[in-house]
């Protein structure tokens, strides 16, 4: 039987397990990436493993999240990361060099390779035919040490792109349409592959936009074939040697198939407060716009910026609109400057921000109270912008630019600007913002430099056979990692300081949670469906661990967060009957007993000591994950394995 693109890459990298849907497999990882909001913790974890040098083909540390250095904390973390890179053979991308995913597919990504990154939008690399997966920092640390990355073998979804895009309709509208079709839960446990005649007209930046935002589907990753378009892009980056042709077999089998007719597609927007709350721009045209933000790892490429410059050239943004533009990399910014497009952006009234994530993770440029902000980003979760009541819409660069000029939602197809963009045959390559690893001899004398804000990893404990604890918090469906552990300029500088971070855990849901959790010393969290969606940040597991959370009981979990909970030694439990969720309340005391024995049967029974109700909980765990819980977390498990 024929294979999909992903199956071909997985088979080539398979270390353990069998490629049977749902069964755990271990794959060899060629490349890793980290960003600074998650990287400090990942490298602290790597250090505990005692390995003298990374064992991947290439590992890269990016500084793109915490670039606002308003105190010593971020600067100290950056210094620490750079010193770790020098010591352990890792490339270091300086602050201001660009957003990890944009820079990585420009300068490092290669078709057919495996990549995991401590950022949920690592699947951006699928735009050039990589098997690129977001993961928790501990999983990245293990991969850097040469260990396998373990996931359930995904099912395969095929999305056929038919026809071609009309003027004013973009790749962002394609992925928004897919989100409208499948929802934020539709890709859970799956790899999404794009195919059909429509892909031939999509540039690599357009493909990367689609795979980037595939993370919002809950998908393991998304991937495009590696074809002549890929080859031309890599050649333009002076990396033609990285090219290989990669396509699925004609008789490849898929678990689900969908079709998007690009000819019929119209400009779309994801409305507050979810990426799958999608409506046509034509239905939103009477909404006044206060702010427009163009950039992020989704839409900050040279291709996107050139379109925006064309729209804004010779015009001025509307009174009352504030416009920010964040180029995705130093390369993008440099080429905008060389072409004169940067002047057009500035002359139109745009504020040019640093080549970094910036407003996407609440690092500045928050909207006004109840302000309407159009963003070319990938997430519009409540409060993520830094303004709790901000009304955040996710749109294409074209929609964003036209709306900035009008002051209201404006439909790109109602305008007549020629937006045909020809990709350059060669990009300006200047890797001065990337510091390569030291030689093995130089690395021996390299010193790791730690600042006072960098605290120790919280202690993990082996799974107890009996747990009796109070429900500390009950939350609804689609709780994100932003709910659990918020981002933003106030909090991000403390990502290497778990005790300080703990003050803000679940602050969006209940400002008293952290204080109550500390006073109780242990407890459960109860959640609805898709608990832990969004970012890969393992802090959303490490902080509850620090606060004494023993387990999370939910209707279902997002993939990365469930893995992060296990890695931290917190047991994720799934209601066998989702209606049992309604029988539990905050303050109830839950008793679990015989957990170690029950791990073998994949389920256990819980008793609500207040009501006497007994209900079944499933433990959807691979044998390796059960061993991790029994050992007391991934680091203790890995350490134990290395000593065997």
Rounded CA-CA distance 116/33 in Å is: 7
Domain 5-261: CATH superfamily, name plus number: Aconitase, domain 3 (3.30.499.10)
Which pLDDT value is given to residue 67?
A: 86
pTM given for the model: 0.93
Q: Kindly report the backbone phi and psi dihedral angles of residue 628, in degrees, each rounded to the nearest multiple of 5, phi listed first.
A: -65, -45
Which pLDDT value is given to residue 640?
A: 64
Which pLDDT value is given to residue 641?
A: 58
Q: Write out the two tokens for 392.
A: 């955040």
Residues in the chain with pLDDT values less than 50:
643-644
| Residue 288: DSSP 8-state | B
DSSP three-state, residue 178: helix
Which stretches within 33-71 are classed as H helix?
36-48
Q: Hey, do 269-412 and 466-642 end up sharing a CATH topology, with the first three levels equal?
A: no
Give the end-to-end CA distance of the chain in Å, rounded to a whole number: 40
Protein fold of 269-412: Aconitase; domain 3 (3.30.499)
Which pLDDT value is given to residue 535?
A: 85
Nearest in space to 20 (alpha carbons), one of 172, 151, 170: 151
Rounded CA-CA distance 54/292 in Å is: 41
CA 42, 43, 49, 52 torsion: positive or negative?
Answer: positive
Residue 413 to residues 167, 194, 403, 422, 483, Cα–Cα distance (Å): 7, 25, 12, 20, 36
23 within 8 A of 155, measured Cβ to Cβ: no
Which pLDDT value is given to residue 70?
A: 80
Q: Where are the domains of the chain?
A: 5-261, 269-412, 466-642
Residue 210 to residues 9, 162, 249, 489, Cα–Cα distance (Å): 20, 15, 22, 28
Which top CATH class is 466-642?
A: alpha beta
């Amino acid at each position: 039987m024929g294979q999909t693109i992903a199956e071909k890459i997985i088979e080539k990298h398979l270390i353990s397990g069998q490629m049977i849907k749902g069964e755990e497999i271990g794959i060899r990882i060629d490349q890793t990436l980290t960003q600074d909001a998650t990287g400090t913790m990942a490298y602290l974890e790597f250090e505990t493993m005692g390995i003298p040098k990374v064992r991947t083909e290439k590992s890269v540390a990016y500084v793109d999240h915490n670039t606002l250095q308003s105190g010593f904390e971020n600067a100290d973390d950056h210094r620490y990361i750079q010193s770790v890179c020098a010591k352990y053979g890792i490339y270091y991308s300086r602050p201001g060099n660009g957003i990890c995913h944009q820079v990585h597919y420009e300068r490092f990504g290669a078709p057919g390779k495996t990549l995991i990154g401590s950022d949920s939008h690592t699947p951006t690399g699928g735009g050039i035919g990589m098997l690129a997966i977001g993961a928790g920092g501990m999983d990245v640390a293990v991969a850097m040490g040469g260990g396998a990355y373990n996931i359930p073998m995904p099912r395969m979804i095929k999305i056929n792109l038919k026809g071609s895009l009309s003027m004013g309709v973009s790749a962002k509208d394609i992925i928004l349409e897919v989100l409208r079709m499948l929802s934020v839960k539709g890709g859970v446990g799956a790899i999404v592959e794009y195919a059909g005649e429509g892909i031939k007209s999509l540039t690599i930046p357009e493909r990367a936009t689609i795979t980037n935002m595939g993370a919002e589907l809950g998908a393991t990753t998304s991937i495009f074939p590696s074809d002549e378009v890929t080859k031309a892009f890599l050649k333009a980056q002076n990396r033609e040697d990285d090219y290989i042709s990669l396509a699925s077999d004609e008789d490849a089998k898929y678990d689900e198939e969908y079709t998007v007719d690009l000819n019929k597609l119209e400009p779309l927007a994801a409305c507050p407060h979810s990426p799958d709350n999608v409506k046509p721009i034509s239905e939103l045209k009477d909404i006044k716009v206060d702010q427009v933000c163009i950039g992020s790892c989704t839409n900050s490429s040279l291709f996107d910026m050139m379109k925006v410059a064309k729209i804004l050239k010779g015009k001025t943004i509307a009174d009352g609109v504030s416009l920010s533009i964040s180029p995705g990399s130093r390369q993008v910014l440099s080429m905008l400057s060389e072409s004169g497009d940067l002047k057009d952006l500035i002359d139109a009234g745009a504020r040019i921000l640093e080549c970094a994530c910036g407003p996407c993770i609440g690092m500045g440029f928050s909207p006004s109270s109840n302000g309407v902000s159009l963003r070319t980003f990938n997430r519009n979760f409540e409060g993520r912008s830094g303004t709790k009541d901000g009304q955040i819409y996710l749109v294409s660069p074209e929609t964003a630019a036209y709306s900035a000029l009008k002051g209201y939602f404006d439909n790109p197809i109602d305008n007549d600007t020629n937006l045909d963009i020809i990709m350059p045959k060669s990009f300006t390559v200047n890797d001065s913002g990337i510091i390569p690893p030291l030689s093995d001899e130089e690395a021996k004398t390299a010193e790791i430099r730690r600042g006072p804000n960098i605290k120790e990893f919280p202690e993990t404990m082996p799974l107890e056979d009996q747990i009796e604890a109070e429900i500390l918090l009950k939350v609804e469906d689609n709780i994100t990692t932003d709910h659990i552990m918020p981002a933003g300029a106030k909090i991000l500088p403390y990502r290497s300081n778990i005790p300080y971070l703990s003050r803000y855990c679940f602050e969006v849901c209940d400002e008293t949670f952290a204080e109550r959790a500390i006073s109780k010393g242990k407890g459960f969290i109860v959640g609805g469906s898709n608990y832990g969606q969004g970012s890969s940040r393992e802090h959303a597991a490490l902080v509850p661990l620090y606060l004494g959370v023993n387990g999370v009981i939910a209707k279902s979990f997002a993939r990365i967060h469930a893995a992060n909970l296990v890695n931290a030694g917190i047991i994720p439990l799934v209601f066998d009957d989702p209606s049992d969720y309604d029988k539990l309340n905050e303050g109830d005391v839950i008793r679990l007993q015989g957990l170690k024995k029950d791990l073998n049967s994949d389920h256990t029974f819980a008793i609500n000591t207040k009501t006497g109700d007994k209900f079944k909980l499933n433990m959807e765990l691979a044998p390796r994950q059960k061993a991790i819980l029994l050992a007391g977390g991934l680091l203790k498990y890995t350490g134990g394995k290395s000593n065997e």
